[in-house]
Amino acid sequence: MKKLLLVFLLFNFTSIAFGQEVVNNSFGNGFYNVIAADSSYSMKFAARMQSLYIADWSVDESNGLHNGNSQFLIRRARLKFGGFVLNPKVKYKIELGLSNKDLGKVDARNNEAPKMILDAVVKWNFYKNFTLWVGQTKLPGNRERVISSANLQLVDRSLVNKRFNIDRDMGMQIRHHFTLGSNFIVQESLAMSQGEGRNVVQDNLGGYQWTGRVEVLPFGKFSGKGDYTGGALKREKNPKLAVGVTYDRNNSVKDRSNLGSYMLIDGGEEQNVYYQTNINTVFIDAMFKYQSLSLMVEYASRAAADPIAKNSDGTKTGDVVQVGSGLNIMTGYILDNNIEITGRYTSIKLDKNITGEDLETQYTLGLSKYFKGHKLKIQSDISYLTIDNNPTGNLLYRLQFDVHF
């Protein structure tokens, strides 16, 4: 795979040297952006990485901080390609993940291969405001997940996203938008996907996954796509608001819709038999920005037709669908020197009768310095997590350097 990737990059750099035009080659705009001499295609190539330090401790009244752990890691390392083919209305995006976190779990369902491909999608604006997406990419889920990890307001996404998001999948999407009056924008999305998550190639074990989203922007567009960018870097002169609602239904064999663990029954993995149930997920989210202030709110809820996995004889396997709800509230204020102070409150309430898990509450305080917007920044945050009926809390500190060419 590494050799193929090297050949691919060398081929493209060679193409530039022989008759292609290099444009917009400044920091943050990719290594190069080329347009063919006959305008039959374009390609932009970029790379980014995140270098992360993590330290965490257990906290209790008697011992204070103890059981500390720390580590350095490359959180993300990615290559991105994009442009158009034959017509500017036919666009494509390819994103490859190279870090261990990006590659994910290797198992038989993805041919024992790393999950290197994040995005591989074609977007065809085939009629007026209608665009067809085909391939693998993010589903129109919760706002925090759709926001790129390169454009986050804190070091990483919240626990609500970790528990409930529907991430990426393979399939097709229809996107549409229209305007009422002069500024009121409505955006709709409908997706049909395989329902197994990204890079899974071994059959469609459950049923297809259906995702629908409606979003309204009553005060018009945000500057610089700020409705899907963390922080108030554009300092909106007028208030801007985006409110979205997503409904997702997946006839799934995993405990978190198209994510999480497979629910095996009757002989386990050797028999390749899985427990299957309809899982419904709802997201309600909002983004507000005005001048130096930003506010993002998300609510997530997951339910299942029968969340307790059972063998064919009715005995419980021990696997359950992670049903419940979560709330995430995040606000930030950016100073004139592009230093931002951010606070986040997160609450996870799973159904204890099913999952056996208590209420989780996390408080996060972050500090970011933007040198070139989200393209070059240093971010740090500290979080305190409590779990009901558990006398010990958890203190987490993170420091991350992010560069995006």
* All residues at 6 or more sequence positions from 212 whose CB lies less than 8 Å from its CB, including other chains: 140, 188, 189, 190, 191, 246, 247, 248
Helix (H) or strand (E) holding 25: none
| Mean pLDDT per 10-residue interval, the chain, length 405 residues | 46 46 69 87 94 95 85 96 96 96 81 88 98 98 97 97 96 98 97 93 84 98 97 97 98 94 79 88 98 98 96 92 98 97 98 95 98 97 95 96 95
Enclosing H/E stretch for 155: none
56, 35 Cβ separation under 8 angstroms: no
Of 367, 364, 365, 295, nearest in space to 337 by CA = 367
CATH class of the domain defined by 122-404: mainly beta
Phi/psi for 104 (5° steps) reads 70, -170
pLDDT at position 63, please?
A: 77
Residues with Cβ within 8 Å of 63's Cβ and at least 6 positions away in sequence, in order, are none
State the DSSP code for 16.
H
Q: Which residues pair with 348 in a beta bridge?
A: 326, 360
**Can you tell me whether residue 132 is helix, strand or coil?**
strand
Output the pLDDT for position 3.
44
C-alpha span between 237 and 318 (Å, rounded): 54
Contact 386, 360 (CB under 8 A): yes
> What's the pLDDT at 6?
45
Residues 319 and 309 sit within 8 Å (Cβ to Cβ):
yes
* Distance between CA atoms of residues 259 and 350, nearest Å: 16
Alpha helix positions (H), 52-157: 100-103, 143-146
DSSP labels for 179-247? EETTTEEEEEEEEEE-SS-TT--S---S--EEEEEEEEETT-PPGGGGGGSSS-TT-EEEEEEEEEEEE
**Tokens standing for residue 182:** 């002069």
Which residues are within 8 A (CB) of 101 and not within 5 positions of it... i.e. 6 or more apart? 73, 75, 76
pTM of the model: 0.91
Q: pLDDT value at position 10? A: 42
